Amino acid sequence: MPKSALIFGSDKYAIEIANSVKESYEIEFFVMDENEQIDFDGEYKKNVFDLSDEWYNTEKFEDVENTIVFCTLSEESENVFLVISLRSNFDSLPIVAIAKNKESVDKLKMAGANKVIPIEQTTAEIISDIIHNPIASKVLHEILYEKSDLKLAQIEVENAEIFGGEFPADIDWSRYRGVVVLSIMHKDLSTEFIYSSKSKRHELKNGDMIIVVGYERDIVEFEKLVGSRRYVNWSDWSW
């Protein structure tokens, strides 16, 4: 049976998510206004719901193992109610929610979301960027859906000379086996996502931060080559 992605909402984050996962999932949108237009690149099914006590169609959730839900409603209260409603009816349903700020992140986690993406720190574009990299796609799947030993780490560059003056977009990151480099935070606080087509040509320098995901042993090896780890509270970053 094909996998389904049920996306509640139709703003730019909902569209970016849909375009990111459309090759692997059958997309269905859920909107609160039947006249609402969805600027999605492809065919889709549109369902109308009103968040009443019996708003959901249980047929859509019969195959929970092959279904994932993205909650992207623009109103925080509606998004929280939606997550509570879904979780109370479907214990094992994977739910990913979009949050506007840290306070909203906490509320959505308490409501029952498996993963919460804060849009002030990251957007659905990261999903689009990463999912097109085969190795990173596997990692993203484990981060979103599975309990694993994968960790996120922030490494400060102290040996920039090992990159030979290459720009981040040109570096063959696959040579650092076992870790996936997600982004670079430069000393001027600009950020670039490694797999983005919009990646800037900005030479890596000592003091820059590299955000990586991987297993502890592999991160340690990467650390030995590049610099040293800087510990952060990843619950604030919130994947």
Predicted pLDDT of residue 56? 63
Question: Shortest CA distance to 79 belongs to which of 69, 68, 65, 89?
Answer: 69
Predicted pLDDT of residue 18? 85
Predicted pLDDT of residue 196? 52
Predicted pLDDT of residue 235? 42
Could you write out the three-class secondary structure of the chain? CCCEEEEECCCHHHHHHHHHHCCCCEEEEEECCCCCCCCCCCCCEEEECCCCCCCCCHHHHCCHHHEEEEECCCCHHHHHHHHHHHHHHCCCCCEEEEECCHHHHHHHHHHCCCEEEECCCCCHHHHHHHHCCHHHHHHHHHHHHCCCCCEEEEEEECCHHHHCCCCHHHCCHHHCCCEEEEEEECCCCCEEECCCCCCCCCCCCCCCEEEEEECHHHHHHHHHHHEEEECCCHHHHCC
Is residue 143 assigned to a domain?
Answer: yes
Q: Output the average pLDDT for the chain.
A: 76
| Same domain assignment for residues 67 and 97 | yes
| Same domain assignment for residues 11 and 120 | yes
Please state the domain count of the chain. 2
CA angle 44, 125, 137 (to 5 degrees): 85
| Same domain assignment for residues 190 and 229 | yes
Q: What is the largest CA-CA distance in the chain?
A: 61
Among 103, 128, 153, identify where a domain stops. Answer: 128
Q: Which structural domain, as residue segments, surrounds residue 207? A: 132-233
Q: Which amino acid is at 111?
A: A
Among 107, 128, 149, identify where a domain stops. Answer: 128
Among 128, 156, 172, identify where a domain stops. Answer: 128
Can you tell me the mean pLDDT for 164-185?
Answer: 77
Look at the chain and count its residues: 239
Predicted TM-score (pTM) above 0.95:
no
| Same domain assignment for residues 164 and 109 | no
| Same domain assignment for residues 19 and 84 | yes
| Same domain assignment for residues 119 and 14 | yes
Is residue 239 assigned to a domain?
Answer: no
| Same domain assignment for residues 20 and 55 | yes
User: Tens digit of pLDDT for each residue in 182-221?
Assistant: 778 776 656 665 655 445 567 888 988 888 877 888 889 9
Can you tell me the mean pLDDT for 131-156?
Answer: 60
Is residue 10 assigned to a domain?
Answer: yes
Q: Percent of the chain at pLDDT above 70? A: 73
| Same domain assignment for residues 115 and 182 | no
CB 100 within 8 A of CB 119: yes
Predicted pLDDT of residue 122? 44
| Same domain assignment for residues 144 and 114 | no
Predicted pLDDT of residue 237? 40
User: Tens digit of pLDDT for each residue in 15-51?
Assistant: 888 887 888 889 999 998 888 778 777 778 888 888 7
Angle at which helices 12-21 and 124-131 pack, to 10 degrees? 20
| Same domain assignment for residues 138 and 124 | no
How many CA atoms within 13 Å lie on the side-chain side of 165? 0
